[in-house]
Structure 1
Amino acid sequence: MGIGTPGIILLVILALLLFGPNKLPELGRAVGRTFREFKNGARDIMEDSAPQKSESKKIDNSQNELENKRLPE
């Protein structure tokens, strides 16, 4: 159910008619930069959330160790 070859050809012809051959490379670069920035931002968010998860596990483990080390009453 994706876009086939005829659909891609139609989109290219439509883009040429709307923007002209001189503006099309600039538009492509802008779209590429936008996707690259989005991907980098998503990667940064994923990397930021990973250390928080591991730190919370470390805190849970240290609390469990402290509870296990208590002297019996």
Structure 2
Amino acid sequence: MPGGGELMIVALVVLLMFGGAKLPKLMRGMGSGITEFKKGLKDGDVDGDPDGDSDGDDDQDKDMSAKG
């Protein structure tokens, strides 16, 4: 876990790379991205496929196993 000194160094590097004017916009975009990521995790499996195989080729898989 990073300590206070390491976080200050990272903050200074970010400030030097992006500048003071772009930093609020960058943080706002990062915050909205994290919010969308958390919302996606909360929504979970929306297609109703409990086994996670969402490629849609279930019939093709059955045909291949019957032939071979």
| TM-score normalised per structure 1 | 0.60
Instruction: Give the CA deviation at 1:16.
Output: 0.7
Distance between the aligned counterparts of 1:28 and 1:40, measured in 2? 18
Does structure 1 residue 4 correspond to structure 2 residue 3? Answer: yes
1:25 corresponds in structure 2 to 24
Instruction: Give the CA deviation at 1:18.
Output: 0.1
Where structure 1 has 5 or more consecutive residues not aligned to the other structure, the ranges are: 53-73
4+ runs deviating over 6 angstroms: none
Instruction: Give the CA deviation at 1:43.
Output: 0.3
Distance between the aligned counterparts of 2:6 and 2:22, measured in 1? 21
State the percentage of identical aligned residues.
34
Instruction: Give the CA deviation at 1:13.
Output: 0.4
Count matched residues.
48
Structure number with greater Rg is 1
What is the Cα-based RMSD across aligned positions, in Å?
1.7
Where structure 2 has 5 or more consecutive residues not aligned to the other structure, the ranges are: 51-68
Structure having the higher helix fraction is 1
Distance between the aligned counterparts of 2:29 and 2:2, measured in 1? 23
